[in-house]
Structure 1
Amino acid sequence: MTSADGDDTGLLAPGWAGSPAATATGDTAWLQALLDAEAALTRAQAVLNLVPSGAARAVTRAADAGRFDVRSLAERARAGGNPVIPLVGDLTKAVGEEYGEEYGSYVHRGATSQDIVDTASMLVAARTLDLVLGDLDRTAAALARPAAEHRDTAMPGRTLTQHAVPTTFGLKAAGWRALVLDARDRVRTVRDSLPAQLGGAAGTLAAFGAYGASDPTALPAAYARELGLRAPDLPWHTLRTPVADLAGCLAFTAGALGKVAVDVLTLSRTEIAEVAEGSGGGSSAMPHKSNPVRSTLIASAARRAPQLAATLYGSMAAEDERPAGAWHAEWEPLRDLLRLVGGAARDAVELAEGLRVRADVMRAHLDLTHGLIVSERLSAELAPVLGRARAKELLTRLAAEGRPLAEAPELADVDLDPTHYTGSAGALTDRALERR
């Protein structure tokens, strides 16, 4: 077998394969995060004079993912149910062989496996969310351009798939941008709140007191500072707010980007063709096609994300002080969510920056209903003259006849131009674009 004997390279996951998020959430990245957590724990204890500073330096130097066999760790993790158990043995051995057994004895001192896995999860999440934040900012900036440029570009407003009344593409793009900014703000809030995890075997910090800490409660904050994470208020082994917050913001982001994607998918259909992706993908059998691939992949992520988030929410029902199964059930869906949203955010940048708008097609589509797209306005204007019932009867009859309203003598003096009936779309677009 080739490809590193079956490593998950994303063959069936084009939405994230090859993206920065794929690297940030790969096995090597998770392994490095586990090692970063172990090294930071030793450094934090050194700051509080619980271990020699030389031991902290030794563990930090040894904590390099390139020195360890990730496949072997994964296979040996089956015995104890998590990768930290074999990793601690390998890291202890590496430190002992290079710096002496005494320094090796300080690896993982006082911690439990969940402290390290949870902290590593927060590190991986933080690093991935930083990528997502950058891409959401770029997407919002890219969407601001067509929103401003097409502030007054009229197009059919569609409700329940049918033409309703005119709107503008500027307002549509401004709405997309607003959703992207909503997602960015949620991601930023969660990113800044991600905590380290440290509680020891049952969340009491007892082992650190046994090892000589005069105030073990000072250690989690020192640990968090070493990692650039927030200091936890309490150990959260079965208080899974941080994971639930991640689930929520990631699922929201997938949905927000999904809204943009499905609108583009609809508007880029051959028979509509009001927009197009800048670099459509080809077909293996039909050379005339230019598929909206970026939108397709984003829409795929949006459909998968809620189910992954549901698993993470379900794991909040975690029994006792440390759970059996609920915690373990989080690892894969959390990584999948981070990968999917990271890939979707990168695709959204390409989609927004390359989007092509066909204003002439939008204008032509306004005439497909032969003037009926402004029937709402006609009803309001004719009611004072003809009475509400007669006005409705007239418009209903003209619609049934299927002839252009411009040919109706009763409407000879009425403004039927759909571009004159976009309401406050321009003002709403301006207001939306003020947001930063």
Structure 2
Amino acid sequence: MTGLFDGVLNHGPLGPLTDDTAWLQALLDTEAALARALADTADPADPEAPTAEQAETIAAACAAHRYDAAALGGAAAGGGNPVIPLVGQLTAQVHRADPGAAGHVHRGATSQDVMDTAAMLLLSRAGRALHGELDLLTADLRTLADRHRSTPMPGRTLLQQALPTTFGAVAAGWASGLGAAADRLDEVLTHGLAAQLGGAVGTLASLGPRGPETAAAFAARLGLPEPDLPWHTERGRVAEAAAALGRVCGAAGTVAQDIVLLAQTEVGEVTEEGGEGTGGSSTMPHKRNPVAAVSALAAARQAPGLVANLFAAQIQEHQRAAGAWHAEWLPLTDLLRRTGSAVSWLRTSAERLRVHPDRMRANLDRTGGLALSERLTTDLAPELGRTEAHRRVAAACRAAVDEGRDPVEVLAEHLRGLRTREQVSALLDPTAYLGAAAVFTDRVTGRTGRTDRTDSEEGNR
């Protein structure tokens, strides 16, 4: 069932990987792995030990379509978690197939073992899909950066025009931030997750001396790392996952916000072009909103609160907490969904993005060269000293603004005998003061000796 807000805030491939069915299947996969691990490590001389055939009978019943998630959710109120009613229903199904196998369902585990392990499976499955989306997005942004390696645009600090940069450098910065966030996510998914099997208080006492061996087999069956010991109240793994997802949202939100700002009517340096029916307004026919970037930003902005909830849940008492681990379920699910939505929408925005180099140049020219005053100061410093050079250039800039005159003319007047009008004009050319923008862009895009391509050759995407 699709929720009213899911089209915006539960967008992309992570939705089906984090819904009730996905959670239910992760819980059941955990139970199936436990049954198989018990059979893997059973004492052949123990007539009460589960057989491989009985384990497979249990595993066969571990299919989400056999159960009603909503009914399980309602029944969870009785014991405080959905595992308790799920185990009851699973046991009943197994009993109908093999009464002997039914006695081995959930053997040795506690409800938190199953919930925590299912959460790790959900993180692994949804996280890998998210990582794939990030790889595609960063590749698109690197291509965009390379295409606009030499496209000058205003750099902005505190939302005001500063020195010029290139759109290639801006897009490279976007790609770099997202790439670093993807790398951190990969580290967490590869090394930060772990199976959970500890029994009531983390000792696996009910499984006797074979407990540690069973825990190892359980982790192996799930494809999750085996922890040194159960981590019922040590929630660093959840916190690290939350931090990695929050970092992804921060990187994605930064890109989305830049696109929204650059697409403002008064700026107009980029637009999203999604075709008929996208970006419109319910009341204003002329609007062309960057709706994909807006949606990405809306999703990303929810991450800090969700991350904070998961960080707060780290403080847990004794061997099993009263409520803190329960408090993780929804924030973790929502954080995965919001992160997936932010990245998926940002991919759409990047695909729709049209860059307007002419508007970038026009905006650069709006200051009449004043944004390049630093370059003029630097050029004069060897002759006048930096302090005096700054004083004279600043005075001329103020006069140009106050008098509404051409900055080049005013600066040439104030610097008569030091620089000609032509020299001042050349020093205020934004295309000649881009610093290492191209070098930094190339570090991200991997450009090695390729010739520059103009916007007219490549198009303005």
Question: Would you say same fold, with TM above 0.5?
Answer: yes
How far apart are residue 152 of structure 1 and its match? 1.1
Aligned equivalent of 2:142: 144
Give the aligned partner of residue 32 of structure 2: 39
In the TM superposition, residue 395 of structure 1 has moved relative to its aligned partner by 3.2
Secondary structure in structure 2 of the residue aligned to 1:164 = strand
Matched, 1:204 2:189: no
- Aligned residue number for residue 60 of structure 2: 61
Shift of 1:18: 5.3
Decide which of 394, 401, 404 is 1:402's aligned counterpart. Answer: 404
In the other structure, the counterpart of 1:240 is 235
Deviation at 1:399, TM superposition (A): 3.4
CA contact (8 A) 1:281 1:291 kept: yes
**Residue segments in structure 1 that go unaligned for 5+ positions in a row:** 1-6
Contact 2:10/2:340, CA 8 A, preserved across alignment: no
Q: Check the 8 A contact 1:220/1:232 in 2, yes or no.
A: no
| Residue aligning to 1:266 | 261
- Paired residue for 1:225? 220
Map of 1:4 onto structure 2? none
Residue 230 of structure 1 and its aligned partner are, at CA, apart by 1.1
1:175 to partner: Cα distance: 0.2
Give 1:129's aligned residue: 127
Q: Name the % identity.
A: 49
AA in 2 matched with 1:359: P
Q: Which moved more, 1:412-421 or 1:101-110?
A: 412-421
CA distance in 2 between counterparts of 1:390 and 1:160 reads: 25
Partner of 2:440: 428
Residue correspondence of structure 1 range 335-414 to structure 2 within 5 A: 335-385=333-383, 387-388=388-389, 389-408=391-410, 409-410=412-413, 411-412=420-421, 413-414=423-424
Aligned partners of 2:3 and 2:126: how far apart in 1?
Answer: 17
Identify which range, 370-379 or 260-269, moves more after superposition. 370-379
Distance 1:185 1:236 in 2: 25
Please name the residue that 1:93 is paired with.
Answer: 92
Partner Cα separation in structure 1 for residue 52 and residue 361 of structure 2: 72
- Answer whether contact 1:156 1:365 (CA < 8 A) is retained: yes
Match of 2:430 in 1: 418
**Contact residue 186 and residue 249 of structure 1 kept, 8 A:** yes
CA contact (8 A) 1:251 1:305 kept: yes
Gap regions ≥5 residues in structure 2: 43-48, 414-419, 448-461
Residues 157 and 18 of structure 1, relative CA distance in 2, 3 Å threshold: closer
> Distance in 1 between the 2:11 and 2:157 partners?
38
Tell me, yes or no, if the aligned pair for 2:196 and 2:231 is still in contact at 8 Å.
yes
- On the 8 A contact 1:243/1:312 being kept in 2, the answer is yes
CA distance in structure 1 between the partners assigned to 2:186 and 2:112 by the alignment: 25
CA contact (8 A) 1:16 1:340 kept: yes
Matched AA of 1:286: M
* Partner Cα separation in structure 1 for residue 76 and residue 174 of structure 2: 44
Q: Which amino acid is the alignment partner of residue 19 of structure 1?
A: G
Equivalent AA in structure 2 for residue 285 of structure 1: T
- On the 8 A contact 1:371/1:404 being kept in 2, the answer is no
The residue that corresponds to 2:416 in the other structure is none
1:81 Cα shift? 0.4
Q: Do 1:11 and 1:17's aligned partners in 2 also have CA atoms closer than 8 Å?
A: no
Q: Is the 8 A contact 1:15 1:340 kept in 2?
A: no
8 Å contact from structure 2 (residues 10, 338) kept in 1: no
1:294 aligned partner:
292
- Structure 1 stretch 404-413 or stretch 159-168: which is displaced more? 404-413
* RMSD (Å) for aligned C-alpha atoms: 1.5
Report Cα offsets for 1:349-376 as digits up to 9, x if no partner. Answer: 2122221111110011111111101111
Instruction: Determine if contact 1:203/1:321 at 8 Å carries over to the other structure.
Output: yes
Write out per-residue CA displacement over residues 203-251 of structure 1, whole angstroms, 9 at most, x where no aligned residue. 0111111xxxx33212222111111111112101000011001110011
State the 1:257 CA deviation: 0.2
Match runs of 1:249-260 below 5 Å? 249-260=244-255
Amino acid at match of 2:401: A
**Equivalent-residue separation in structure 1 for 2:162 and 2:59 (angstroms):** 63
Q: Secondary structure of the residue that 1:157 maps to in structure 2? A: strand
1:249 maps to amino acid? A
2:457 equivalent in structure 1: none
Of residues 144, 157, 163, the one that matches 1:165 is 163
The C-alpha deviation readout for 1:60-116, integer Å capped at 9, x for no partner, is 111011011111111000000000000000000001112x21111110001000000
1:314 is aligned to: 312
**Pairing 1:25–2:27 present:** no
The answer to whether the Cα contact below 8 Å between 2:112 and 2:232 also exists between their aligned partners in 1 is: yes
Q: Distance in 2 between matches of 1:323 and 1:223?
A: 23
SS of structure 2 residue aligned to 1:155: strand
Give the secondary-structure state (helix, strand or coil) at the position aligned to 2:7: coil
- What SS does the aligned partner of 2:176 have? helix
* Cα distance in 1 for residues equivalent to 2:282 and 2:200: 56
Shift of 1:385: 4.3
- Measured after TM superposition, the shift of residue 264 of structure 1 is 0.2
Q: How far, CA to CA, are the matches of 1:34 and 1:407 in structure 2?
A: 74
Instruction: State the partner residue of 1:79.
Output: 78
Bigger mean CA deviation after superposition, 216-225 or 146-155: 216-225
Could you tell me the TM-score, scaled by structure 1's length? 0.94
TM-score calculated relative to the size of structure 2: 0.89
1:237 alignment partner, SS class:
coil
Distance 1:261 1:201 in 2: 46
CA distance in 1: counterparts of 2:406 and 2:207, whole angstroms: 83
User: Do 2:141 and 2:175's aligned partners in 1 also have CA atoms closer than 8 Å?
Assistant: yes
The CA deviation string for residues 130-158 of structure 1, in whole angstroms up to 9 with x for no partner, is 11011000000100112111111111111
Name the residue aligned to 2:459.
Answer: none
